[in-house]
Structure formats: structure tokens, C-alpha cells
Amino acid sequence: MQKKWRLTLIYSCFLFLPSLIWAQAKPAAAPKKTTTTASSNSNIKLSIERGKKVYAEQCLVCHQADGLGVSHMNPPLSKTKWVLGDKKDLIKIVLKGLNTEIEIDGDTYRNVMPPHEAVMNDQQVADVLTYIRNNFGNKASRVTETDVKGVRANAK
């Protein structure tokens, strides 16, 4: 009985060993591809975070923390055709300011918005616009530094 068991053990070793070797010889599984592309989603999040700070420094005094502005003086930034509309026009408003009479929801505004081209760089303009386009009830695509660079170069 004892001997039989020992034999079984030896035999099973012989069976087991090749399978071990075979397993070792197998090429290591290809390492899982790590997704290296920082998704544009996380970038937009960072841009919005930075934009929030820029807004506090450059826009909040007039347009207020809630983006609703001050009636008849400083217009709201919530769902207006400028905020949600053409990015170039929007960038231009921040760079060059605005001095016309505009109407939003029946309220007219004719105060002057000062230009910001001297006090804000391309990234700050992109960030603050991405922030307002995704805050105050707005949902719109981001504005990039490249967008701002282009407008700055052309809007003299």
C-alpha cells in the first residue's frame, strides 16, 4: 500500500512537471494597455476649476457670484445668446469689452464692459469662458487657448 502511494506520487510528479515547464515557457501576458490619453473630460474639469478663480478675480464684481448680474446695470450670464453662442464673439467681448445697448429678457443694459486683453492671458480667457459656459445653468462646449489666440491675433 505504502509503496503504491509513493509510486502514484512519483508518477504524478512526472505528469505535473511538464505542465509547469510549459506554463513557465508561455509568454507573459501582454501588460494591460494603460490609457495614457488624459481624457479631454478631465482637462475640461481642470479648466473649469481654474476658470472659477479667474471669474472671482475678473468678472464677479459686476456679473455677481450667481452670474445673474445686476438688473439694468450688469447683464446676467445665464443662458444668454452671447454666453452660449459663437465662441469668437464671446472671446471678443472679454478681450475688447462691450459698449452697446443690449437686451436680455426685456431688461436693457447700456453700461460699459471694460476690455480685459491687457490683464488676462489666453489660458485665463479660455478657462473663464469654459467656466461660465458650464455654470449658471449653461451647458456648452469648452473654449480653448487656441481659440483665444486666434481671436486675439485677428481682432485688432
Helix then strand count (H, E) for the chain reads 7, 2
SS3 113: strand
Judged by beta carbon, residue 14 or residue 101, the one nearer ligand HEC is: 101
Asked if 95 interacts with ligand HEC (CB under 6 A), we say: no
Q: 113 - beta bridge partners? A: 98
CB 51 within 8 A of CB 131: yes
CA distance 27 to 132: 52
Please give the size of the binding site for ligand HEC, defined by CB under 6 A: 29
Q: How far is the CB of 118 from ligand HEC (least distance, A)?
A: 12
Asked if 51 interacts with ligand HEC (CB under 6 A), we say: no
Q: How far is the CB of 66 from ligand HEC (least distance, A)?
A: 13
Site residues for ligand HEC, 70-89, by CB under 6 A, read 74-77, 80, 82-83
CA distance 47 to 51: 6
Judged by beta carbon, residue 96 or residue 150, the one nearer ligand HEC is: 96
Please give the sequence-ordered ranges of beta strands (E in DSSP) within 23-110, or none if there are none: 102-104, 107-109
**Binding-residue pattern over the window 2 to 41 for ligand HEC, x denoting contact by CB under 6 A:** ----------------------------------------
CA distance 58 to 101: 22
Residues interacting with ligand HEC, by CB under 6 A? 58-59, 61-63, 74-77, 80, 82-83, 90, 93-94, 98-102, 104, 109-111, 113-114, 116, 128, 132
